Every structure is written in C-alpha cells, then in structure tokens.
Amino acid sequence: MTRIVQSSGQKTVGRFALWQLGFRPFYLLASLFSALSVLLWAAQFFGYLPFAYVPGPLWHGHEMLFGYTLAVVAGFLLTAVKAWTNESTPSGLPLMALAALWLAGRVLVLTPFALAAMLANTAFPLAIAWAIGVPLWRSRNVRNYFFVGLLGVMSGLVLMTHLALQGQLACPPRLGLQLGLDVVLFIMLVIGGRVIPMFTNKGVPGAAAARHAVVEKIALGSVIVLFFSDLLSLSPVVIGVLALASGAAQAARLCLWKPWRTLATPLVWILHMAFVWIVIHLLMRGATELGWVAGSYATHALTLGAIGSLTLGMMTRTARGHTARALLADGVETTMFWLAQGAAAARVFGGMVSPGLYMPSIQLSALLWAAAFGLYVVRYWPVLTRPRLDGKPG
C-alpha cells in the first residue's frame, strides 16, 4: 500500500501507489485480463481448451462485457465521482476488496461452482454502485445518480444471465448479454457526449465541436427505446428500424463534433473512432435484424470497435491526467490505438469480404487485440503503480 511520510513539514507519497484511486488497479487488471482472455478465447474457439461452467462462446461474451468492460467502468466512475463530488471513494483495503471481488468472478466462471460464480459476478456492480452512491448522495450530486441505477441494472442482467445458464429462467442467456450491451452503449453515449466535445475543443484549437439539444435527446432516447425493444423481444423489423434510426442520430451527433479535425491528435481521434464504430454497429445491427446481413458482425463492431476504442482511449487519457502527465499520446500509445482499430476491422469486415477469411480474421483480430492491451499493460504499469508526478495523492 501507499505510505505517507512526513518530511520537512510536507507530505510525500510512498513509491507504490496502485491502491490510491480506483482507476489504477481496475485499468491495469482490465487491460491485462483483456489481452489474456481474448487469447484464451481464441484457443478455445479452435478447440484447444475446455470450459467448466459457462460454455465457450458465452464465456467470451460474458467476460468481455461483465469482466473487462465493467472493470473499466468501475475504474472510471470511482475516479470521476471523487472529482465530481470532492468526496472520497474507496482506496487502500476497501479498493483491494473490490478488486478481489472482481477477480473472484473471473476465476469462478472457469470452475463448476455455478452458485459462487453467480454471486460474485452479481455482487460486483452492486458493490461499485454503493462505492459511488455514498459520495454522490453526500454531495447531493443528483445529475449523476443515474449511474447508480445503471449499475443496479447491470447486476440484474448478470443475475439473469446466470439463472438462464442454470436453466432456472426461461430465456436465452444471450438476452442478458444483449441487454447488457445496450446499457453499456447508453453509458458510452452519455460519457462520450459529455467529454468528447470538450476534449476536442481543448486538444484541437479551432475544432469548434458542438452539441445540439434536440440531437442529444434523440441520440440518447433512441438507445433507451432500443433497450426496451430488446427486453420485450419485439419484432426484428421493429428493432431493425429503431437501430437504423439510432445510427442516423449518432452520425448526426458525431458530425457536430468535427471528427475530421482531430486526425493529427491521437488522444482525441481515438475517442471519435469509438463513435464511428457506434454508428457502424447500429447500422449493421439494423441490417442484421432486417435480414440484409448475417452473422455477429454488428456485435463485434460495438465490442471490439466502439468499446475497445473508447475504453483504451479513456484509460490512456484519464491515467495521464490523474497522474499529472501531459495529455499527449506518444508512439507506443498511438500504436496501441492502431492495433485496436486493426483488431476491430479484421473481426468485423474479414468474414464479410470473403467467407474464406472468416477463421483467419478471428485469429488476426485476437492477436492484434492482445497486442494492443498488452502494450497498455507494459506502458502503464509504471504509471499506474507510481505516485502522481506532482506529488499529490490520487
């Protein structure tokens, strides 16, 4: 743990700072797990590894959503809520306990202990909801209360998925994953809408990224409607039309942010690329529901493309900002961003270009993804485990 040492009337922070603030352990764990789990999934997909409790394809979806993505969301919210409220969020032993709970969930889904896996994975988003809910309540930060509710919904969807896996709930386990992806999409739209125009205008002089109230409402509202359409299992035609309409709304929103003006600034364009992938996802989802496109390409445009780009970009930017480093991407970080784009493009478009490329594209995508997040671990291990450069706590 971090040590605070008194020296010459000033406080200095000890050398190991991993447990000072939520982004540190969760960004590191998420990126390490992401790189390793995708390689494990590829090995399982090609018949080299068995799975105990959660079948292989469902394990992959479950872990990338409720494992990797929720870890990044947890790290971001534990850090952001502290900044929003000036109230403490877990550090030290309580933060270790949250990380241990997350890690238990990752291990237990590989075992026959179904009940323990369900409890650990259901409890994690609830624990994060409590950890951010208390400071939000103390500061009466009403604007961000909804994050607590969304984490509660995610916990319910984890429970739903596990009960379906165990045959105790009459619905396909994939429904829980689809609804979870809808929730994560909404979180991305909210956070992205808040920070991307701001980061664009700060990082790219003269960019003039803007927001329009009506476009914002349609863009967010359409995804809420899409969530309930999935929940009620409405007609594929209805869902397809909704997805296409939402994709058009996200495209209009993105155009207002002037993404073409960010191409020389990697720390900004990676966030815009996430929204390009969101547009691709929604348009492809609409096409899939309407029977124009077959396969899981729309899902991977969201997961590898949008979630991969936004989480990698935000983990880089917030780690730099909260450790008092310059908000500039170096060569290693830019390489990470391009590797992630390559992984998404290979997985989404490889099989569409030619059926013969389907299997090689999965292998290539897994390797590029693992390389991107492996580089993050190597590059950010010293950043996330050492104190801020300005000597402040956090």
Tell me, what CATH number does 234's domain have? 1.20.210.10
Q: Are 215 and 339 within one domain?
A: yes
Let me know if residue 200 belongs to a domain.
Answer: no
Q: Could you tell me if residue 156 is inside a domain?
A: yes
Q: What tokens does 388 get?
A: 């801020």
In a domain, 195, yes or no: no
Is the domain of 141 the same as that of 213? no
Least confident of 33-47, 94-108, 111-125: 33-47
Q: DSSP letters of 178-226?
A: HHHHHHHHHHHHHHHHHHHHHHHHHHSTT------HHHHHHHHHHHHHH
The answer to whether residue 4 scores a pLDDT higher than 50 is: no
Based on the fold, state whether residues 160 and 273 are members of the same structural domain. Answer: no
Q: Encode pLDDT of 302-324 as tens digits.
A: 999 999 999 999 999 999 999 99
Give the structural domain span for 84: 23-171
Q: Is residue 177 part of a domain?
A: no
Q: In the structure, what pLDDT confidence band is assigned to residue 52 with cuts at 50, 70 and 90?
A: low
Confidence of residue 42 (pLDDT cuts 50, 70, 90): confident
Query: pLDDT at position 260, please?
Result: 96
pLDDT digits (tens, 9 = 90+) for 319-373: 999 999 999 999 999 999 999 999 999 999 998 888 889 899 999 999 999 999 9
Residue 123, domain member (yes or no): yes
243 and 333 in a single domain? The answer is yes
- Both 114 and 209 in one domain: the answer is no
Contacts of 39 (CB under 8 A, 6+ apart): 366, 370
Same domain (yes/no): 377, 234 = yes
Is residue 8 over pLDDT 90? no
Answer yes or no: do 223 and 304 share one domain.
Answer: yes
Q: Based on the domain organization, do 75 and 131 belong to the same domain? A: yes
- Any domain includes 375: yes
Task: Tell whether the model's pLDDT for residue 11 goes beyond 50.
Answer: no
> How far is it, in rounded angstroms, from Cα 126 to Cα 132?
10
Q: Do 305 and 362 fall within a single domain?
A: yes
Total structural domains in the chain? 2
| Last residue in a domain, options 154, 171, 188 | 171
What is the value of pTM for the model shown? Answer: 0.93
Assess whether 99 and 148 both reside in one domain: yes
* Structural domain contains residue 3: no
Q: Same domain for 95 and 213?
A: no
